[in-house]
Amino acid sequence: MLTRIDHIGIACFDLDKTVEFYRATYGFEVFHSEINEEQGVREAMLKINGTSDGGASYLQLLEPTREDSAVGKWLAKNGEGVHHIAFGTADVDGDAEAIRGKGVRVLYDEPRIGSMGSRITFLHPKDCHGVLTELVTSAAEH
């Protein structure tokens, strides 16, 4: 069962400049940053708030580390902006399978490792009214 909006992913050309905008404008600070070689991104997670289920809601800022990454290709086509929405779940495997059973394409056969050690998968945007959708089980939950 999906429990919260885990994060909104925002693609950007310059991570440091974008982090500074969110810090100066809204007071959001970087909670976590990392480079995900598999996905070809450098990212910063800005914590917005905690949630009643012990999780949190974040903005995830994504800068591609290579042009052929999914985010790099997306930026080249669309420019900066909202890239995806992610919903938190205690069971990414079970929820992905249940959603697949409803006719929605799940992009990974098995969940992969995402930010902060989470387990993730994505749903095809053409099956989700044009929105790339991620399912996330935080490291603390798995």
Q: Residue 126: what pLDDT?
A: 97
Whole-angstrom CA distances from 110 to 68, 96, 119 are 22, 9, 9
Whole-angstrom CA distances from 32 to 15, 47, 58, 129, 134 are 13, 9, 10, 30, 19
Q: Residue 24: what pLDDT?
A: 97
Q: Residue 55: what pLDDT?
A: 72
* Global model pTM greater than 0.75: yes
Nearest Cα to Cα of residue 11 among 73, 88, 68: 73
Which member of 39, 60, 63, 83 is catalytic? Answer: 60
Distance of CA 17 to the CA centre of its chain: 19
7 is catalytic: yes
32 - beta bridge partners? 45
Total residue count of the chain as it appears in this document: 142
Q: Is 72 helix (H, G, I), strand (E, B) or coil?
A: helix
84 is catalytic: yes
Which member of 39, 63, 83, 84 is catalytic? Answer: 84
Which member of 67, 124, 134, 141 is catalytic? Answer: 134
How far apart are the C-alpha atoms of 57 and 7, rounded to whole Å?
5
Which member of 32, 37, 43, 124 is catalytic? Answer: 43
Which member of 7, 39, 63, 83 is catalytic? Answer: 7
pLDDT tens over the chain, length 142 residues: 898 999 999 999 999 999 999 999 999 999 999 999 999 999 999 999 876 666 789 999 999 999 999 999 999 999 999 999 999 999 999 999 999 999 999 999 999 999 999 999 999 999 999 999 999 998 876 5
Q: Residue 50: what pLDDT?
A: 72
Within 10 angstroms of residue 35's Cβ, the number of other Cβ atoms is 11
43 is catalytic: yes
Q: Residue 54: what pLDDT?
A: 63
134 is catalytic: yes
